[in-house]
């Protein structure tokens, strides 16, 4: 092809590409900078940051960031002392720090639903690295109370579960109901109060559909583990065979660090 024609075509492609960018603007789901349409959904810098976050090792049992040397078949140095922890394993994308935190906040508080599709992809990658993925019969999202739902732009956990289901071809089972509208866990810094806040606020919706099934609880975040613990109690009571959890992030709250040896004596593992 003559050089003049080739460069004209390149210029035309660039022009059309630029027009497409103007007509269909793409922004990075993490930092919001403009990006070419074919690079979506993240800019290259955020993509690198997320890849680094996902390489950080974490405990297979509780999802906390942990050095491999501190982990064994009973978990890590932290969860081995937690008698209440009763899920068989956790899959997570990363710790609750940027850029993962920006994606969660955007979805949860600003209603950015496209974050859910992207986080679903990242969670699916994390689950594919877990040996228990093939056991799963259903994904069970942590439910939002209907009054809370009216205050939020979206049910972020339901969106995450739907995105994950699409990636993994595993059905979503809305097997748990939130009966009590308790204050958000994010407003409570005490570990013991977080457990108290969610105690007894969930109930099984379709116990017969959970019975003898291996299920994976889906949530955006585990901090103390109080919510996952309560949901797993309900699922276990309904006859679930095995219970796992998949979250975007595992975080710690200050009191969680201080009270790492605290156990919850009235909630022993089954």
Q: Does 87 bind Zn ion (CB under 5 A)?
A: no
Do 116 and 220 form a contact (C-beta atoms < 8 A)?
A: no
Q: Does 228 bind Zn ion (CB under 5 A)?
A: no
Q: Beta strand pairing status for 242-250 and 90-95? A: parallel
Going residue by residue from 10 to 39, which x/- string records binding to Zn ion, judged by CB under 5 A?
A: ------------------x-xx--------
Interatomic CA distance for residues 86 and 267, integer angstroms? 10
Do 140 and 238 form a contact (C-beta atoms < 8 A)?
A: no
Q: Does 176 bind Zn ion (CB under 5 A)?
A: no
Give min distance, CB of 62 to Zn ion, in A: 3
Burial of 238 (0-12, 13-18, 19+ CB in 10 A): buried
Q: Does 46 bind Zn ion (CB under 5 A)?
A: yes
Q: Does 91 bind Zn ion (CB under 5 A)?
A: no
* Residue from 50, 79, 136, 159 binding Zn ion (CB under 5 A): 79
Q: Does 76 bind Zn ion (CB under 5 A)?
A: yes
Give min distance, CB of 179 to Zn ion, in A: 30
Closest CA relative to residue 182, chosen from 233, 248, 227, 249: 227
Interatomic CA distance for residues 156 and 111, integer angstroms? 8
Helices (H), 38-186: 44-55, 100-110, 113-128, 146-151, 156-168
Stretch that binds Zn ion, among 59-67, 117-125, 195-203, 210-218 (CB under 5 A): 59-67
CB-nearer residue toward Zn ion: 28 or 176: 28
Give the torsion sign (CA, 78, 80, 85, 89).
positive
Q: Does 75 bind Zn ion (CB under 5 A)?
A: yes
CB-nearer residue toward Zn ion: 32 or 200: 32
Q: Does 198 bind Zn ion (CB under 5 A)?
A: no
**Residues contributing to the site for Zn ion (CB under 5 A):** 28, 30-31, 43, 46, 59, 61-62, 75-76, 79
């Amino acid at each position: 092809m003559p050089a003049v024609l080739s460069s004209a075509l390149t210029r035309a492609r660039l022009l059309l590409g630029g027009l497409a960018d103007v007509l269909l603007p793409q922004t990075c789901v993490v930092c919001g900078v403009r990006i070419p349409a074919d690079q979506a959904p993240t800019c290259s810098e955020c993509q690198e940051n997320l890849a680094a976050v996902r390489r950080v090792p974490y405990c297979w049992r509780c999802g906390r960031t942990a050095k491999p040397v501190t982990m064994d078949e009973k978990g890590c140095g932290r969860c081995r002392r937690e008698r209440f922890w009763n899920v068989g394993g956790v899959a997570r994308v990363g710790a609750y720090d940027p850029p993962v935190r920006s994606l969660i906040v955007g979805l949860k508080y600003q209603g950015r639903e496209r974050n859910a599709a992207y986080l679903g992809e990242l969670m699916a990658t994390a689950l594919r690295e877990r040996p228990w993925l093939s056991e799963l019969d259903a994904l069970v999202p942590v439910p939002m109370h209907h009054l809370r739902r009216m205050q939020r732009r979206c049910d972020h956990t339901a969106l995450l579960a739907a995105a994950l289901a699409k990636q993994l071809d595993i059905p979503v089972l809305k097997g748990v109901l939130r009966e009590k509208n308790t204050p958000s866990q994010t407003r409570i810094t005490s570990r013991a109060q977080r457990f108290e806040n969610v105690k007894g606020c969930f109930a099984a919706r379709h116990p017969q559909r959970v019975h003898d099934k291996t299920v994976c609880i889906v949530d955006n975040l585990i901090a103390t583990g109080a919510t996952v613990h309560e949901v797993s109690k309900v699922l276990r009571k309904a006859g679930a065979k095995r219970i796992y959890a998949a979250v975007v992030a595992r975080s710690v709250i200050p009191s969680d660090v201080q009270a790492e040896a605290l156990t919850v004596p009235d909630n022993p593992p089954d």
